Structure 1
Amino acid sequence: MYPLVRQSHVIPRTLAFYSRQIDLCLSSKSVKPTKIVHAQLIKVGLNSHTFLGNRCLELYTRYSCLDNILKAFGDITRKNIISWNICLKGVLKNGHDELAHSLFEEMPERDVVSWNSIFSWYTSCDHSDIAWVRFRQMLHTGVKPSAYTFSILISMVSYSLHGKELHGGMIKSGLIRSNVVLGNSLIDMYSKLGIINYAYGVFLTMDNLDMISWNSMIIGYSKCGCGELALSQFSLMRSSGYPSDEFTCSAVITCCTTLRNLEKGKQIFALCIKVGFLCNSIISSAIIDLFSKCNRLELSVQLFNDLNRWDSVVCNSMISSYTSHGIGENALKLLVRMLRANIRPTEFTLCSVLSSISGIPVEQGTQIHSMVIKSGFEKDYIVGSSIVDMYSKVGLIDCAIIFFASMSLRDIISWNTMIMGLVHNGRSAEALKTFMNLCKSGLPPDRISFAGVLLACSCGGFIDEGTAIFSKMECSYGVKPCYEHYATLVDMLCQAGRFNEALEVTKRIPQLRESTIWGTLLHACLGHGDVRLAEKVAERLLELEPQLSLPYIVLAHIYEMRGQWEDIVRVRETMKRNIATKVGGRSWIVLKGQLYTFMAEQLHHHASKEIYSVLELLALDKNEITATEFSETDVD
């Protein structure tokens, strides 16, 4: 056996020599030099020395060598708090949670470093509840939290009470006024909790402010829906002499987009050009989105074409703009240009394009599906839901069902998309079955799930099933019925002739101001034959929508059934005076990749004259109408 060297008799030059050897190991990218030095320490009996053992522990922790960490820790004769802290850090870094917990419990003493290590572990494991228990335990033992302790715990705050407790602790420790990082963290925390006035209070009490402080305050206002205050804060930031960066401009542009404030957005756009921020993809895409949301798509297109370089972020914003304006063919063309420029589409790209498939040929939708498979995004929740939605919209519901069945993992959006797709394609029974499978899967249904299954029960005539599902919404699943659920239930009961029950349901609807339910009841009055009730419902419906013709038509029909001819004349005269001209509908057709749109009594297309000429010849050939009915005044 090697002779053990007492720590008190270690020659300082020997200690310094091995310490320099360990310092040399820090520059190495391999653990091998550390093992060599450690072996030399074992050979001369210095592996049990506290200082040298701690240095070896530190190196092994850096390389995540758990076995060596435990060996070096076990060899140290007189372990101090540093030995325990380094070992705890190394065990946690290797992901051995139970071993780290046992080690923490065995520590003879704990300082703030020990507690910070365990708090960091709780953060990585998302154990915020345990962290708060441990924090109070730390305070009870008399250990004073450091600024790092507070910064760790702030990131785990999900309740305002915990946040205020931390804030109080910072004030008590005197850290909040002088520590800019902690102040910024508090502003961000209160903003996420929606307590924006507390965030502004922290902002006002800070002795020192930096750009992050201003940005945190502006972003906080924006996330809490206080766009005007965010713009005012930005103006104050500029007037106070603080320069703005890309994060500032991005946040302010987002505020302008939310507020639909195009003029203010143009000013920020000019600022971005002046300081050279347009080369930033986030800024460029935000401005494209601003113009699009403010109904200035032509400005979005102009900016997009003027940009010197493209990337997926900018292209995604432009594709989304095309999609939101119903120009699916342009979105597809841009996708093709992206592929030719070797720009790899992202999940967002494919989802945006898939959502525009309903106005373009189905073949292109299947091509996008193939691209999804080749890109490896088929297992993505959102992309998968978009594929199901695309097939449902174009009427290929069987393809949607097959793809949905092939999905290995499904979230609530996937289930809801499938349920709604089945309903809109007339598969009410299958939609009801899909909802039942959702409940069996262990995933709790949400508001949209119930809206879809109730609509399926209404369309399919499953009255008893629908009323039973509605009654279980809140008590069994914790989903409070909304207006759409009540409206579907009323329609369901009216279809079944359960008119009195439908009237009772209307009394439970809070602030019934929408006309849909009253229209449903009015239709039911037509079959019920109750004149006084029909008049009452019609009067309420006209209060909500004075230009609606339905109340007059239904009342006239009921009066006709009962032979009240004078009332019929009165209703029709009133209808002529009050009802404006009905807005025409629209239809479209795609031929050879070109979309043709037809409005009622009008045709929007560059070849409208030629099309009307062909229609004229066809009409004359069939002797249905004369040529004079097609005049130049009818052509747009």
Structure 2
Amino acid sequence: MIVVFVCMFSLLQKAHRFHHTVSFFSGIIDQCSSLKSPSNSLKLVHAQLVKIGLNFSNVYLGNRCIDLYFNSGSPKDAVKMFDDMSRKNIFSWNLYLKVLVKCFDMATARRVFDEMPERDAVSWNTVISGDHAKEMHCRIVKNGGCYSNLVVGNSLIDMYGKLGLVEYSLAVFLSMEKVDVISWNAMISGCCKSGYERFALLLFCVMRSSGFEVDEYTVSAVLTACSNLRNWEKGKQMFCFSTKMGFLWNAVVCSAAIDLFSKCNRLGSALRVFKESCVFDSAVCNAMIACYASHNMEENAFHLFVYTLRESIRPTEFTLSSVLHSAAVFVPVEQGSQLHSLAIKTGFEAEAIVASSLVQMYNKYGLVEFALKIFSKMASRDLIVWNTMILGLADNGKLFEAIELFEKLLESGLHPDQITYSAVLSACSYGGLLEEGMAVFSSMQQQQQRGVVPMNEHYTCVVNMMIQADMINEAIDFLYSLQWEPDSRIWESLLLACGDYENLELIEAIADGLMELEPHSSLPYLIYLANTYEQRGRWESVVRLRRKMEKVTRKEVADISWIGIKGHTYSFEANPTCHHGRENVCSILGFLKQDMSTGDDSVFIN
């Protein structure tokens, strides 16, 4: 297609149709954005621009190329295009500033901002979105252009919301002379992104009572708040409201509705919204792929992903992350490597969410070296990827490496959470590394002021380490010293470890405790205790337990049958005294009994 356009352009050039040439070139650039490799196709177009000198003289076409280079994941080409332009306007500078803020360093972006020949609201908004937000806010206030300028004020609200500084967002919002629906949307969205979902719902109620008309962005933000809260009742109300307002045609609203149903365990409803959706784009498909993946339907997620690729729908980093999680479950290593290649090709390998999923995938494949290679290349590592890598090392038998990586995590300045300690304690438990494990557990106890409180899974690891070291008494003392009530798994591990233990009273105490914790499934513990008595010649105790076991197995259970007729379910208990339609049921049963006794089976025909 690009070759055809280039040939057409050559004909226009020979005919000296300059204005038609510019218009036609704009159409070529539009077509580039819809192709599978927009950057490569645009380079061919760019070459033609250089050939005739239009990239130096025509500002409009140059700006279009900068924008497309940036959106297609080629920021360096966008910067080169800007440098080659001999004429630039405010739009050129704003695009250049956008590239610098998003892809390069803020110091350069700040210098460019100061050197710009002119600035508008877009310029301020762009530089505000960088890391020097508070500093830029102060400059705006000094220049008197904050609370009276609606666009700048909305940008500050949005920026503080993205940074998680809801208090600053609210302060700007309340100080503005005038607010509009964009102000409300930015405020609600910022609350959702910062963990203040309940406050976002309150703001939505205030917005409506204040007479502001909501739009699709408002609805999508509120649906997201309900999804994060797993609040099905309010989410259902918002979904009905969005349907009534006709907002489901919007891809953002549709994807937010699918996400709501997914997180509230309404898979059927999510699938129905997806199938009946009027739009079929990246956002909607991403939401459905994530829905499948979160409900352990990895194969469905993978098939939908392949279908989107065939439909030329460009994947996002969130799509790839969901698919990589699914691939780790059922896709062969070869196809997992192909997904890795796709992540590299699309430029998403460096994204934290994709890199973390790649680490998890290779760990589940048992290819720890590949996972470590990706982990080491990551520019920034959050706690999730550290936990994933430590757990991957532990699961693949790299126990000392897991402990070493945990120590590097502490050196990095990040604070471990409960998942971190569970991973490293699992490594110590697998290897019977009691000394190292107790040191880790001790450091965990020191983190309780940060909200890192030991749970059953951590206590289980400690007890298992003590059992492997043949420290049964110490394990028992440890459990009795806890202010936490251990679950049955811990006591069960201890009971199994006491098989050859001489203290029969202790075994009886543990078994009795387990039967109290799990009265409905106490039979295995009774059997274990009976076998223990038998090994020690305690025959009277064996007989006593056998009788108790018979009582457990012969507990009276009411037999119930039920049948559904025309949307109603009728239940019948064993030996009922009365039930709905008893006379008719008994009559029919008598009729069937009579036919069966005479050997006439014609009643069962038809």
Please tell me the TM-score bracket, short chain as reference: 0.5 to 0.7
1:419: how far off?
A: 2.1
- Alignment CA distance shift 1:91-1:305 (3 Å): closer
Is 1:300 equivalent to 2:270 in the alignment? yes
Contact 2:368 2:396 in 1 (8 A): no
Find the counterpart in structure 2 of residue 555 from structure 1: 529
What residue is the counterpart of 1:338 in the other structure? Answer: 308
Give a deviation string over 1:75-103, Cα, whole Å, max 9, x none.
xxxxxxxxxxxxxxx99952799xxxxxx
Contact 1:486 1:505 in 2 (8 A): no
Aligned to 1:482: 454
Q: For the residues of structure 1 that align with 2:128 and 2:361, how far apart are their CA atoms?
A: 42
Q: What CA distance in whole angstroms lies between the structure 1 residues aligned with 2:299 and 2:220? A: 29
Partner of 2:505: 532
Q: 1:581-608: CA deviations, max 9, x gaps?
A: 9xxxxxxxxxxxxxxxxxxxxxxxxxxx
> C-alpha displacement at 1:468, in angstroms?
2.4
Are 1:566 and 2:547 counterparts?
A: no
Aligned to 1:521: 494
1:286 shift after superposition: 0.9
The equivalent residue for 1:435 is 406
The secondary structure found in structure 1 opposite 2:305 is helix
Distance 1:214 1:544 in 2: 51
- With over 3 angstroms needed to count, the CA separation of the structure-2 counterparts of 1:227 and 1:560, relative to structure 1, is farther
Structure 1 CA distance for aligned equivalents of residues 177 and 213 of structure 2 = 19
Does the Cα contact within 8 Å between 1:192 and 1:220 map onto a contact in 2? Answer: yes
- For residues 404 and 288 of structure 2, what CA distance do their matches in structure 1 show? 39
Alpha-carbon distance, 1:578 to partner: 4.5
Q: Report the secondary structure of 1:244's partner residue.
A: coil
Q: Displacement of 1:431 after TM fit?
A: 2.9
CA contact 1:246–1:280 (8 Å) conserved in 2: yes
Cα deviations by residue, 1:174-213 (Å, 9 ceiling, x for unpaired): x99xxx979x969x98x96799xxx89x98x999886567
Equivalent positions of 1:113-132 (< 5 A) are none
CA distance in 1, matches of 2:229, 2:422: 30
Alpha-carbon contact 2:466-2:475 (below 8 Å) kept: yes
Q: Name the CA distance, whole Å, in 2 between partners of 1:91 and 1:192.
A: 25
Instruction: Check whether the contact 2:223–2:238 (CA below 8 A) recurs between aligned residues.
Output: yes
Which runs of 5 or more residues in structure 2 are unaligned? 1-58, 60-88, 95-106, 115-125, 556-606
Query: For the residues of structure 2 that align with 1:509 and 1:469, how far apart are their CA atoms?
Result: 17
User: Match of 1:249?
Assistant: 219
- The structural deviation recorded for 1:490 is 1.7
Deviates more, 1:285-294 or 1:506-515: 506-515
Distance 1:238 1:521, change over 3 A: same
Cα contact 2:293–2:325 (8 A) shared by 1:
yes
User: Structure 1's 245 and 575: CA in aligned 2 closer, same or farther, altered over 3 A?
Assistant: farther
Residues 360, 371 of structure 2: 8 Å contact kept: no
For each residue in 1:51-109, what CA deviation from the matched residue of structure 2 results, as whole angstroms up to 9, or x when unmatched?
xxxxxxxx99x999xxxxxxxxxxxxxxxxxxxxxxxxx99952799xxxxxxxxxxxx
Matched residues in 2 for 1:348 and 1:383: separation? 7
1:469 is aligned to 2:440: yes
Aligned residue in 1 for 2:591: none
Which letter maps to 1:377?
Answer: F
CA contact (8 A) 1:422 1:431 kept: yes
* Deviation (angstroms), 1:383: 1.7
What is the Cα deviation at residue 374 of structure 1?
A: 1.8
Q: Distance in 2 between matches of 1:545 and 1:459?
A: 27
* Cα deviations by residue, 1:229-259 (Å, 9 ceiling, x for unpaired): 8667756754664422223312332344345
Q: Give the match's secondary structure for 2:341.
A: helix
Task: Give yes or no for contact 1:311–1:343 (8 Å, CA) kept in 2.
Answer: yes
| Equivalent runs, 1:89-488 vs 2, <5 Å | 93-94=110-111, 211=181, 234=204, 238=208, 241-258=211-228, 260=230, 262=232, 264-362=234-332, 363-394=334-365, 396-398=366-368, 400-401=370-371, 403-404=373-374, 407-409=377-379, 411=381, 412-436=383-407, 438=409, 445-475=416-446, 480-483=452-455, 484-488=457-461
- How far apart are 1:533 and its partner, in Å? 2.7
Normalised TM-score (structure 2): 0.58
In structure 2, give the amino acid aligned to 1:275.
M
Q: Give the Cα–Cα distance (whole angstroms) in 1 for the partners of residues 109 and 370 of structure 2.
A: 46
Calculate percent identity across the aligned residue pairs: 41
Which stretch has the larger CA shift, 235-244 or 496-505?
Answer: 235-244
Rounded Cα–Cα distance in structure 2 between residues aligned with 1:377 and 1:439: 28
Contact 2:434 2:469 in 1 (8 A): yes
Aligned equivalents of 2:344 and 2:478: distance in 1? 47
**Contact between 2:251 and 2:279, CA under 8 Å: does it hold in 1?**
no
CA gap of 1:274–1:539, structure 2 versus 1, over 3 A, is: same
Distance in structure 1 (CA, Å) of the matches to 2:144 and 2:511: 62
Residues 138-157 of structure 1 deviation map (CA, whole Å, 9 limit, x = unaligned): xxxxxxx99779998xxxxx
Alpha-carbon distance in structure 1 between the residues aligned to 2:428 and 2:317: 34
Whether the 8 Å CA contact 1:490–1:502 is kept in 2: the answer is yes
For the residue of structure 1 that corresponds to 2:498, the secondary structure is helix
- Structure 1: segments with no counterpart, 5+ residues: 1-28, 30-58, 65-89, 98-119, 136-144, 153-174, 582-636
How much does 1:553 deviate?
A: 3.9
Shift of 1:314: 1.4
Change (3 A) 1:268 1:528: same
> Which deviates more, 234-243 or 460-469?
234-243
**Paired residue type of 2:538:** Q
The answer as to whether partners of 2:445 and 2:454 remain within 8 angstroms in 1 is no
Instruction: Determine the structure 2 residue equivalent to 1:492.
Output: 465
Q: CA deviation at 1:415?
A: 3.3
Q: CA deviation at 1:336?
A: 1.2
Distance 2:220 2:133 in 1: 33
Q: Aligned letter for 1:319?
A: I
TM-score normalised per structure 1: 0.56
Tell me if structure 1 keeps the 8 A contact 2:157–2:187: no
Helix, strand or coil at the partner of 1:528: coil
Assess if the C-alpha contact under 8 Å between 1:385 and 1:413 holds in 2. Answer: yes
- SS of the residue 2:321 aligns to: helix
Counterpart amino acid of 2:531? Answer: H
| Letter aligned with residue 547 of structure 1 | H
**Shift in alpha-carbon separation, 1:215–1:504, aligned structure 2, 3 A:** farther
Cα distance, 1:442–1:264 mapped onto 2, change above 3 Å: closer
